[in-house]
Amino acid sequence: MRAVLQRVTQARVSVDGTVAGAIGHGLLILICAMEGDTEANATAMAAKIAKLRIFKDDAGKMNLSIRDVGGSALIVSQFTLAADLRGNRPGFSTAARPEVGRHLYEHFTARIAAEGIATANGVFGADMDVMLHNDGPVTIWMEV
C-alpha cells in the first residue's frame, strides 16, 4: 500500500458539493492499494501511522503521534498514487483492481479506527474535492 500523509489543522472532502467527511487537527491520509496488497499490508500501515511521531510536543519537536495529540484521520482513496511515470501519460496498472482496492481501503479505515483514532472518509471511486490546511507543512510519503 502507498500513502501520502499530510498533517492538517483541518481537512474535508466533498462529492458533488456535499461534504462526505471532515476533521479538525490530525492527518489527511491519501491511500492506494497496490496490486498484490493484502489485509496484512493495510493493518501494518495503519499500525505504523498510529505510532508515527510527526506532531509537535511542548518544545516544538516532532515527538508525538496522532493518538498522543487526540487527532483525527480523514482517509481518502487515491488510486493515482500508483502512477507509473515512465512516459508522458501516467499509467495505473499497478493499482489494485477496484473491488480489491475498496476492500483494502475499508479494512485500512477499520484498522485506523481500531487504533483509537477518530476517522472520516471520502467516497471510494468518486470524483472528490479535497480541501486542507496543511500544518507545518508536514507531508510524508510511505509504502508498506
Catalytic (active-site) positions: 78-80
CA separation for the pair 73, 83 (Å, rounded): 24
CA separation for the pair 74, 130 (Å, rounded): 10
Angstrom distances, CA of residue 65 to CA of 30, 61, 100, 104, 124: 18, 12, 29, 23, 26
Helix (H) or strand (E) holding 89: none
Provide φ and ψ at 125, rounded to 5°: 80, -5
